[in-house]
């Protein structure tokens, strides 16, 4: 059943929320009095469309419908989720939340993007405080998975459970905070680092770029995949966290930081910080910086997918859930769709189109899927049998670019004895042929690493598909060698 989200406030965070819902197949209603709201949100969506789908290796949901509502009432009346992302002033939030509750469904989740206010403060004077919770995301909302979910003592358990279920379905990581506190959890860490950074600049010890380099080339990458405490646990060696604390705990009494004190943000200090930041990043526009940031995040998180670790494990889970929801029945009498995906940004090369190695990756994924279909799956491989590719021929027929939606079909040209002969065709979503890949595979005994006959079940399934596909026209390009001019 189609779901609808209402976004109240379409700034950077609201626009990110709109993109996250919209690109997960939800219809989205937006209410924002800013006359530039449509332009700003369209720019955020353009960045999201080229980056978010690339996190997945399966076909993501079709984009929902976007509506710019004239009023809050119009935006929220049919919403399953309402996300408030208005300025950080409690009086404004109280006014907006009251209007939302006057017109929304009684069972709708009302989430606030607030980074500082506690849920009990937001719920003051509400007609139904059980419905209002903090759902604090991180920018860019359409890429970063963390959402701090805080209900306080007044929110209904049903609201929290509903919210976490929805966030999980959006590929996000809901972190439920059981006890409310100002600024929640993550921003308290960020505030501590920010304060120390201000002092380092104020005292002339470091520039904005030097501080950022310390983070992005060092512990920032480490934190991205393991967090704080597990990182320190590993640093303790075989003896673990206890040894680490015994070794480094005394350092906490040394005057290394000024976290309990903050320099006065004088005009001079503000100008100093701003000028250093301009020197560091001024050659790029904000939109360019956003695209650079998005490309880097996609590449990092896709790398983590390969290790099934941290945010990458979450993305693999998200992909598997989408895949599990696909129809199980396959028509073996025609070429079988084995892959459907959007082209990720890290598959694009210096020429601005998909690198040739990624065509091979795509066809390898198609082969892997076909192997699963005939029963040569993870369990079969674990028991000692698999197929090895002996020969490949790829034809690159047309360009494809970042964020392009594609699908690949597989035709079995033969499947007798130890051999499996496959022909893949990769298409753009508009039906145009992008590339073909012809693969000859040999069944192998993994213990001896030598050719062997496949198991009975695999052999029968392969023979059945090969027999049906024998009635299909021979694909153009079959058996072709590399063309050379005369």
What confidence tier does 249 reach under pLDDT thresholds 50, 70, 90? Answer: low
pLDDT score at 253: 63
Q: What CATH number labels 187-283?
A: 1.10.1040.10
Q: How many CA atoms lie within 13 A of 306 on its CB side?
A: 5
Say if strands 4-8 and 27-31 run parallel, antiparallel, or are unpaired.
parallel
CA separation for the pair 394, 408 (Å, rounded): 13
Residue 375 pLDDT greater than 80, yes or no? yes
Q: Which two tokens stand for residue 82?
A: 């309402």
Q: Domain map of the chain by residue range?
A: 4-184, 187-283, 327-469
> Token pair 């799956």 is at which residue?
377
Tens of pLDDT along 146-188?
A: 999 999 999 999 999 999 999 999 999 999 999 999 999 999 9
Distance (Å, whole) CA 245 – CA 115: 31
- Does the pTM surpass 0.75? The reply is yes
Superfamily of domain 4-184: NAD(P)-binding Rossmann-like Domain (3.40.50.720)
Residue 450 has pLDDT above 70, yes or no: yes
Q: Residue 288 has what pLDDT? A: 86
Tell me the C-alpha distance between 214 and 211, whole Å: 5
- Rounded average pLDDT over 457-479: 96
At residue 142's C-alpha, the angle toward residues 369 and 232, to 5°, is: 85
What are the pLDDT digits (tens) for 51-96?
999 999 999 999 999 999 999 999 999 999 999 999 999 999 999 9
State the burial class of residue 327 (Cβ atoms within 10 Å of its Cβ: 0-12, 13-18, 19+). exposed
Q: What percent of the chain has pLDDT over 90?
A: 76
pLDDT at 239: 73
The fourth-level CATH superfamily of domain 327-469 is: Hotdog Thioesterase (3.10.129.10)
| Least confident residue range of 37-41, 245-249, 358-362, 373-377 | 245-249
User: What value does the mean pLDDT of the chain take?
Assistant: 92
- pLDDT for 260 equals 66
- Residue 398 pLDDT: 96
**Contact of 302 with 312, CB cutoff 8 Å:** yes
């Amino acid at each position: 059943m189609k779901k609808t989200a209402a976004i109240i406030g379409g700034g950077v965070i609201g626009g990110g929320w709109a993109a996250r819902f919209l690109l997960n197949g939800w219809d989205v209603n937006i209410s924002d009095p800013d006359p530039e709201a449509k332009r700003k949100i369209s720019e955020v969506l353009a960045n999201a469309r080229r980056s978010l789908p690339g996190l997945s290796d399966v076909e993501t949901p079709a984009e929902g419908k976007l509506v710019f509502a004239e009023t809050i009432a119009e935006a929220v009346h049919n919403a399953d989720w309402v996300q408030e992302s208005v300025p950080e002033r409690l009086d404004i939030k109280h006014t907006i939340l009251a209007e939302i509750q006057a017109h929304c469904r009684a069972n709708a989740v009302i989430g606030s993007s607030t980074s500082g206010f506690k849920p009990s403060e937001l719920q003051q004077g509400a007609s139904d405080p059980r419905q209002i919770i903090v759902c604090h995301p991180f920018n860019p909302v359409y890429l970063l998975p963390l959402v701090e979910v805080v209900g306080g003592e007044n929110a209904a358990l049903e609201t929290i459970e509903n919210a976490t279920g929805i966030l999980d379905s959006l590929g996000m990581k809901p972190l439920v905070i059981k006890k409310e506190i100002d600024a929640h959890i993550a921003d308290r860490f960020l505030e501590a680092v920010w304060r120390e950074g201000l002092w380092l600049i104020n005292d002339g010890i470091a520039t904005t770029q030097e501080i950022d380099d310390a983070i992005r080339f060092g512990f920032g990458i480490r934190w991205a995949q393991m967090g704080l405490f597990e990182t320190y646990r590993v640093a303790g060696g075989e003896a673990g966290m206890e040894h680490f604390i015994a070794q480094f705990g005394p350092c906490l009494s040394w005057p290394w930081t000024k976290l309990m004190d903050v320099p006065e943000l004088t005009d001079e200090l503000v100008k100093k910080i701003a000028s250093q930041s301009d020197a560091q990043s001024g050659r790029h526009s904000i939109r360019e910086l956003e695209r650079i940031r998005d490309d880097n995040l996609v590449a990092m998180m896709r790398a983590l997918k390969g290790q099934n670790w941290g945010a990458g494990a979450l993305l693999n889970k998200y992909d598997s859930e989408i895949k599990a929801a696909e129809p199980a029945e396959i028509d073996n009498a025609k070429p079988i769709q084995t892959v459907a995906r959007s082209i990720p940004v890290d598959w694009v090369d210096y020429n601005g189109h998909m690198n040739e190695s990624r065509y091979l990756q795509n066809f390898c994924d198609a082969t892997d899927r076909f192997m699963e279909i005939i029963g040569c799956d993870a369990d079969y491989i674990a028991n000692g049998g698999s197929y090895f590719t002996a020969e490949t021929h790829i034809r690159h027929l047309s360009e494809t670019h970042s964020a392009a939606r594609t699908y690949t079909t597989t035709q079995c040209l033969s499947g007798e004895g130890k051999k499996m002969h496959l022909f893949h065709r990769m298409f753009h979503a508009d039906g145009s042929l992008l590339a073909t890949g012809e693969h000859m595979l040999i069944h192998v005994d993994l213990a001896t690493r030598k050719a062997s006959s496949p198991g009975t079940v695999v052999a029968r399934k392969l023979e059945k598909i090969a027999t049906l596909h024998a009635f299909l026209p021979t694909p153009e390009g079959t058996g072709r060698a590399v063309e050379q001019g005369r």
